[in-house]
Structure 1
Amino acid sequence: MSDKRQRARVQGSWAKQLPKNTRPSEVPNNQPKNANSAPGSWGCGPQKTPKTFEFIQPTKLIREVPPEKVIENAGDHEISCCPSGVSRLRLLPGFLPQEEADWMFSKLFAELPWSQKTNYRQGEAYEEPRLTCWYGELPYTYARSTMAANTQWHPLLLTLREAVEQASGCRFNSLLCNLYRDGYDSIGWHSDDEASLGPKPTIASLSLGDTRVFSLRKQPPPEENGDYTYVERIRVPLSHGTLLLMEGATQDDWQHQVAKEYHDRGPRINLTFRTIYPEPENHRPGTKLRFTAKQQ
């Protein structure tokens, strides 16, 4: 094959042949050379001398976000030990047998007086993203909204309260019931530390229905100025028939939530048994116990 035919085949029929006497390194006569161009430049004017970069050691230590811990196994789990005391979770999966839990869920779902509570944040009212009802001889105030006293306990709730008391060794006189209708229902970060619950309360949480993740995060130290970026975090999947006890200083040193889940989730009932006391004298209902202690 001749050179001409080989060049046409490699470059394509559209390619133009190079002039015989032109070399790629030559500059065409119609483009003036720039006398100030530095070797290797594009001929766009004087080139500045490259800056030299100096490494400066950062003054702040590089911090890593602690990995989230998952608690799934039954038993007692000590999650922190601080000046305020020991914080402990006691997890009892399968506290209720499957068939018994199924029957209890359907009965409570249909027969409890569920309603949507109005809360207040920064002076603005909003509807809670879940349904609730309250049982107890005393009213319960949180988020600047009060649930009236209700002594008409559903018979099934009395049976469950007795079973939870035997398992926990605690006595409970009140119950907050939450119904999460689907994955979009939730409860935000908070602690159950109102003065009406007393110091270091034990909260017994019984789950019925679809599994939801119960999350906890540790309160940051004062020097963090309320920044939760580097605090310890825990996930506890709460399945049908599971009992969770929050004990010791958990409400002082930790917050908890049930976050929204943007995929298919069926309804879930959460029964939180607790002991409530009359509000302290000259105390605004619903105010945190921690805040009250600082003001004295």
Structure 2
Amino acid sequence: MAISASYHLWITKCDIMSDKRQRARVQGSWAKPLPRPSGQTASVPNNNQSKSVNPGPASWGFRPQKIPQTFEFHQPIKPVRDVPPEKVIEQAGDYEISHGPSGISRLRLLPGFLPPEQADWMFSKLLAELPWSQKTNYKHGESYQEPRLTCWYGELPYTYSQSTMAANTQWHPLLLTLREAVEQMTECSFNSLLCNLYRDGHDSISWHSDNEVSLGAKPTIASLSLGDTRVFSLRKQPPPEENGDYTYMEQIRVPLSHGTLLLMLGATQDDWQHQVAKEYHDRGPRINLTFRNIYPEPEAHRPGTKLQFTAKRP
């Protein structure tokens, strides 16, 4: 019996050595596993044994996990605001566009003030015969060419954007006729005229207010359009707490067609800015005649100084 047991032990060791040599030659995950010697039992993990949820930091460097906190909603510091939709004015009529400390801002729109046939020949005559030129303006100490052509009529010079247009009393006869017609319709009188020629869609005028001291307080400005239609835009001046941000201010869009007359009245120049923006599609030439009143520059002001409205404190 002792010989038989020794023989079986020797056979088992030979088999193990043979398997080791075979595994040394065979590579891959399909190599036959080594048989366990008799008498050895594999340790089967006991599912009932307690497991360490948070192993110590010295074992693998793990740190205890933080328990996720419940999300809490906090009201935003600044209230959510909607950008007001742009209003469009196309129909004839009087419009009160705002009420403020400076007064009531009003627009009066008169499409078809000039019949189409009459507007056609007037446009052609003024385009050919007025002394159009390109004005040089200054901003932040640098000069630039206005993206349009202009000419000025009035007994006094007119200064804006740090550049002065000389007085010109030689009114074109057709301009005198138009001034008389505008005065009869509006029941206002005008002593000066700024003419603008927008040669195509790339000509424009940027955001501004006609609030120079030389134009007086609460000026009435009559704007007569001839030629291709261009969009006249207005935006409300922001209150001091907006720090010059126009994002949430009211905006108005007014398409000005051939022969249309637009009046800006009341506090419009105090409370609103206006522009004719560039357009990147085909636009023909357009003439804009802006009748206004001009007064001598006060001695204490530099020519072209803006008139700033200041609300009276209670």
TM-score normalised per structure 1: 0.82
Matches within 5 A, 1:79-158: 79-158=97-176
Q: Are 1:263 and 2:281 an aligned pair?
A: yes
In the alignment, what sits opposite 2:192? 174
In the alignment, what sits opposite 2:178? 160
Deviations 1:27-84 (A, max 9, x none): x789xxxxx9xxxxxxxx9996684443322111000100000000101000001111
Q: 1:230 to 1:219 in 2, by over 3 A?
A: same
Seq. identity, %? 82
In the alignment, what sits opposite 1:237? 255
Report deviation, 1:293: 10
With 66-75 and 285-294 compared, the bigger mean Cα shift is at 285-294
Query: What 5-or-longer segments of structure 1 have no aligned partner?
Result: 1-27, 31-35, 37-44
- Which secondary structure state, in structure 2, belongs to the residue aligned with residue 282 of structure 1? coil
How far apart, CA to CA, are the structure 2 residues paired with 1:97 and 1:48?
Answer: 82
Amino acid at match of 1:243: L
Q: 1:49 to 1:169 in 2, by over 3 A?
A: same
- The structure whose Rg is larger is 2
Correspondent of 2:224 among 206, 209, 231: 206
Amino acid at match of 2:256: L
Q: 1:50 to 1:167 in 2, by over 3 A?
A: farther
Amino acid at match of 2:244: G
In the alignment, what sits opposite 1:76? 94
In the alignment, what sits opposite 2:44? none
Report deviation, 1:291: 7.3
Q: Are 1:250 and 2:268 an aligned pair?
A: yes
In the alignment, what sits opposite 1:222? 240
Deviations 1:177-222 (A, max 9, x none): 0000000000000000000000000000000000000000000011
In the alignment, what sits opposite 2:298? 280
Q: Where does structure 1 differ by over 4 angstroms across 4 or more consecutive aligned residues?
A: 45-52, 291-294
Tell me how many residue pairs correspond in the alignment: 256
In the alignment, what sits opposite 2:202? 184
- Which secondary structure state, in structure 2, belongs to the residue aligned with residue 163 of structure 1? helix
How far apart, CA to CA, are the structure 1 residues paired with 2:64 and 2:219?
Answer: 72
Q: 1:82 to 1:182 in 2, by over 3 A?
A: same
How far apart, CA to CA, are the structure 2 residues paired with 1:187 and 1:153?
Answer: 24
Q: 1:216 to 1:46 in 2, by over 3 A?
A: same
With 273-282 and 49-58 compared, the bigger mean Cα shift is at 49-58
Deviations 1:96-116 (A, max 9, x none): 000000000000000000000
- Which secondary structure state, in structure 1, belongs to the residue aligned with residue 308 of structure 2? helix
Q: 1:60 to 1:271 in 2, by over 3 A?
A: same
How far apart, CA to CA, are the structure 1 residues paired with 2:115 and 2:64?
Answer: 80
How far apart, CA to CA, are the structure 2 residues paired with 1:46 and 1:188?
Answer: 62
Q: 1:134 to 1:57 in 2, by over 3 A?
A: same
Amino acid at match of 2:235: R
Answer yes or no: is the 8 Å Cα contact 2:221–2:264 preserved in 1: yes
How far apart, CA to CA, are the structure 2 residues paired with 1:108 and 1:207?
Answer: 12
Q: 1:281 to 1:49 in 2, by over 3 A?
A: same
Report deviation, 1:283: 1.2
Amino acid at match of 2:279: E
Q: 1:156 to 1:57 in 2, by over 3 A?
A: same
Query: What 5-or-longer segments of structure 2 have no aligned partner?
Result: 1-28, 32-51, 53-61
Correspondent of 2:82 among 22, 40, 64: 64
Q: 1:29 to 1:161 in 2, by over 3 A?
A: farther
Answer yes or no: is the 8 Å Cα contact 2:101–2:311 preserved in 1: no
TM-score normalised per structure 2: 0.77
